[in-house]
């Protein structure tokens, strides 16, 4: 079963850059998008054989998530059930027979870490939400988690310790998520490999491969007992050969 996650940084924009062809090429069972930047009714983009589910931000042209799926879910939920977090279209959860698929676009702490306090509250509430799900059945959480966890996960760690996405506080929250029982599937399979999923549009960063790995597939691990999905991980990939956004797609295949 193949899963793809991609922060498209504006779905309308990427549709003019070959998105439909890339979608077909990747041929996923589940295709999760972040930063769609749409309001309901703005874009009618459907693919044969897929159902789609959308969570729109209240703010126009901001945030937003979507999932295309070949498999009909048992249920679909939007947000994490906490009022202060559920206005920006950041979470969709599909309940399948033997797992939950959670697509997320985690809030950015922004320049000067001005939204860091909110980000930390989000992280605690989102982690608790995921743990509640994992107490019932396996959980796959994917998306732009807006954090490079380890120094290996970005090109220039020494100059970014006070930057959004690599602050000590954000990295500590990712550590807590892993300590709670969630596995970074790509790093689990590639413990020493350097590969990035996001590049700034500035200073030819992608051309020079000055990037960050901030897009993930996390799965519930053995700490959750019967909800352990780690033994089903077959392969993982970061498709940095695919362009169209400042992020590239990431992939998980489960047995």
The residues annotated with a catalytic role in the active site are 105, 144
Sign of the C-alpha dihedral computed for residues 45, 97, 106 and 22 taken in this order:
negative
What is the C-alpha separation between 167 and 111, in angstroms, rounded?
A: 11
Query: Does residue 113 come out as left (phi exceeding 0), alpha (psi in the -120 to 50 range) or beta?
Result: left
Report how far Cα 121 is from the mean position of its chain's Cα atoms.
Answer: 18
Helix (H) and strand (E) counts in the chain: 5, 14
Tell which residue, 59, 64, 56, 2, has the closest CA to residue 33.
64
Cross-strand partners of 253: 2, 235
CB under 8 Å to 21, separation ≥6 — which residues?
none
Contact by Cβ (8 Å): 3, 101? yes
> Most distant CA pair in the chain: distance in Å?
47
Write out the DSSP string of 95-107.
E-SSEEEEEEEPP
CA atoms within a 13 Å half-sphere pointing along the CA-CB vector of 145: 26
Burial class from Cβ neighbours inside 10 Å (0-12, 13-18, 19+) for residue 162 reads exposed
Sign of the C-alpha dihedral computed for residues 220, 221, 223 and 227 taken in this order:
positive
């Amino acid at each position: 079963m193949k899963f793809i996650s991609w922060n498209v940084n504006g779905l309308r924009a990427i549709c003019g850059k070959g998105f439909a062809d890339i979608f077909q090429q990747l041929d996923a069972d589940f295709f999760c998008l972040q930063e769609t930047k749409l309001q309901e009714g703005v874009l009618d983009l459907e693919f044969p054989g897929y159902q789609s589910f959308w969570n729109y931000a209240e703010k126009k042209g901001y945030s937003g998530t979507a999932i295309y799926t070949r498999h009909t879910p048992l249920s679909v939920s939007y947000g994490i059930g906490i009022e202060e977090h559920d206005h920006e279209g950041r979470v969709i959860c599909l309940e399948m027979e033997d797992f939950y698929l959670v697509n997320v676009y985690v809030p950015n702490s922004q320049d000067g870490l001005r939204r860091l306090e909110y980000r930390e509250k989000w992280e605690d509430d989102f982690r608790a939400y995921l743990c509640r799900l994992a107490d019932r059945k396996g959980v796959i959480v994917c998306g732009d988690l807006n954090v490079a966890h380890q120094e290996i996960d970005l090109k220039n760690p020494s100059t970014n310790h006070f930057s959004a996405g690599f602050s000590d506080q954000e990295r500590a929250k990712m550590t807590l998520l892993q300590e709670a029982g969630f596995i970074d599937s790509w790093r689990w399979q590639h413990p020493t490999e350097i590969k990035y999923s996001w590049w700034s549009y500035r200073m030819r960063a992608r051309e020079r491969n000055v990037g960050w790995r901030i897009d993930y597939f996390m799965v519930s691990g053995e700490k959750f007992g019967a909800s352990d999905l780690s033994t089903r991980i077959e392969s993982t990939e970061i498709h940095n050969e695919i362009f169209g956004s400042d992020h590239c797609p990431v992939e998980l295949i489960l047995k």
